[in-house]
Amino acid sequence: MSSMQEYMNLGEQYILKTYNRFPVVFEKGDGVRLIDMDGKKYLDFAAGIAVFALGYHNKEYDAALKDQIDKILHTSNLYYNRPSIEAAEKIVRTSGMSKVFFTNSGTEAIEGALKVARKYAYLKDNSKDYEFIAMNHSFHGRSQGALAVTGNAHYQDGFVPVGMRAVFADFNDLEDVKSKITDKTCGIICEVVQGEGGIYPAKKEFLEGLRALCDEKDILLIFDEVQCGMGRCGAMYAHELYGVKPDVMALAKALGCGVPVGAFVTGEKASHALVPGDHGTTYGGNPFATAAVSKVFDLYESEHIIDHVKEVGDYLYQQLEALKDKYSQIIDHRGLGLMQGIEMDVPVGNIVAKALNQGLVIISAGANIIRFVPPLVISREDVDEMIRILDQVLSECGIN
Ligand SMILES: *Cc1c(COP(=O)(O)O)cnc(C)c1O
């Protein structure tokens, strides 16, 4: 048996170095706790980056996956499978949108959403010229348009020239977006609450303005709810809090609560754009992943997750406000539900690392912001414990 340090060394030897990892190997999870190879326990306020909404080892969730393993893991999209149909029905029912395409990740959900908007524009006037308006400080994933490297005209038809083109406007600045609109604009994409960019919730007037703009120009409004969706902000989908509906919505992260799965979801207006042959995936919507999705929706309902997020999210908000009052170097506190952040006047890397050492898992969002995206089943006592450890770490780090 190798030690934790030996495993970390092997990780550096064999895994491509695109991350500077924290020095820990997590081996198990239990509720809202993580356990490393040495048996040390950590309170988890990161949830695998806003993924593990139900906590680790929800019994019903585990049982549903084990049950699906005993049935079938994969069949491909050449055939129907029950879990994907059930999961899609639940997304449609809870969102009031029309159709679902399952992907393996958030990035792929975004790719699909962009293709919907391009095809929608193409169908209007056969124009191959297009442009997206996206937001400064947004985050939508790491691919650069897989189609751009797909050397087959059949797959590119309706989407050439490939490689997405975008101009950027300031988030929450409607006038800036308006100034960037041209005849080429085929869609506007934004997060409802910017995650990686630093936990910035949209303003209501901004989203309402985008909706009106897209209606006026007959272009598609795409909401990236990969991080802020699935109950995290105190509604199943964050846009419900604003009363503004997108034409296309991207989901992932908590959608499968640990099983890699995403989806893009189209509203009535956008559902006809993609037709057979326009888009596809081998794994997307496979029975294993969608059995997880389906069970996640059941459990959100039976465990009243949304109500819980509202309640404990308010509590977290109060406690972080109190912390902000105590430390002058905490210069802002923002967020909705269980997606909150505190901004400091110094980089937070040191604080995050020290917290980990003290048994608290938190993550940053940008250099100066500590992000709180715990499992949605977190309790008030867990919040108290988190605040206690963080308070201690802040003072040990010499924060005033
Ligand atoms: C994480 C994230 C993505 C990308 O999802 P992956 O599953 O990592 O591909 C896209 N958009 C937002 C808002 C995200 O937070």
- The DSSP annotation for 234-292 comes to SSSSGGGGGT---SEEEE-GGGTTTS--EEEEE-GGGTTS--TTS---SSTT-HHHHHH
Task: Give the C-alpha separation, 253 to 246, whole Å.
Answer: 19
Gyration radius of the chain over CA positions:
21
State in Å: Cα 108 to ligand 1 middle. Answer: 9
Task: Give the C-alpha separation, 208 to 249, whole Å.
Answer: 16
4-54+304-396 with 61-302: one CATH topology? no
pTM value is 0.95
What is the DSSP-derived secondary structure letter of residue 15? Answer: S
Residue with tokens 């306020």: 45
Sign of CA dihedral 216, 220, 226, 230: positive
Considering the four listed CATH numbers 2.60.370.10, 1.10.10.10, 3.90.1150.10, 3.40.1280.10, the one that applies to the domain covering 4-54+304-396 is: 3.90.1150.10
Q: What is the pLDDT of residue 166?
A: 83
Residue whose CB lies within 8 A of the most ligand 1 atoms, among 49, 103, 107, for a mutation test: 107
Per-domain boundaries in the chain: 4-54+304-396, 61-302
Closest CA relative to residue 362, chosen from 346, 379, 385, 380: 385
Q: Which residues line ligand 1 (CB under 6 A)?
A: 105-107, 110, 139-141, 191, 195-196, 224, 226-227, 252-253, 262
The CB density around residue 293, as the number of other CB atoms within 10 Å, is 28
Helix axes 380-396, 349-357, angle to 10 degrees: 120
Longest dimension (CA), the chain: 64
Task: Give the C-alpha separation, 123 to 99, whole Å.
Answer: 19
Contact call for residues 53 and 305 (beta carbons, < 8 A): yes
* Per-residue pLDDT tens digits for 30-87: 999 999 999 999 999 999 999 999 999 999 999 999 999 999 999 999 999 999 999 9
State in Å: Cα 227 to ligand 1 middle. Answer: 7
Task: Give the C-alpha separation, 107 to 140, whole Å.
Answer: 6
* CATH C-level class of 61-302: alpha beta
Contact call for residues 39 and 5 (beta carbons, < 8 A): no
Burial classification of residue 239, based on how many CB atoms lie within 10 Å of its CB (0-12 exposed, 13-18 middle, 19 or more buried): buried
Contact call for residues 102 and 263 (beta carbons, < 8 A): yes
Amino acid, res. 236: M
Q: What is the pLDDT of residue 128?
A: 83
Residue whose CB lies within 8 A of the most ligand 1 atoms, among 253, 281, 371, for a mutation test: 253
Contact call for residues 201 and 334 (beta carbons, < 8 A): yes
Going across the sheet that includes 185-191, the strands are 99-103, 262-266, 248-251, 220-224, 185-191, 131-135, 166-169
Residues in the chain, pLDDT under 50: none
Task: Give the C-alpha separation, 93 to 180, whole Å.
Answer: 35
Residue 69's H or E segment, with its range, is: helix 59-71
State in Å: Cα 196 to ligand 1 middle. Answer: 9
Residue 220's H or E segment, with its range, is: strand 220-224
Burial classification of residue 152, based on how many CB atoms lie within 10 Å of its CB (0-12 exposed, 13-18 middle, 19 or more buried): exposed
State in Å: Cα 231 to ligand 1 middle. Answer: 16
Q: What is the pLDDT of residue 142?
A: 79
State in Å: Cα 38 to ligand 1 middle. Answer: 31
| Strand blocks (E) in 95-139 | 99-103, 131-135
Task: Give the C-alpha separation, 10 to 53, whole Å.
Answer: 30
Cβ neighbors of 53 (< 8 A, separation 6 or more) are 47, 230, 231, 232, 254, 257, 296, 305, 375, 376, 377
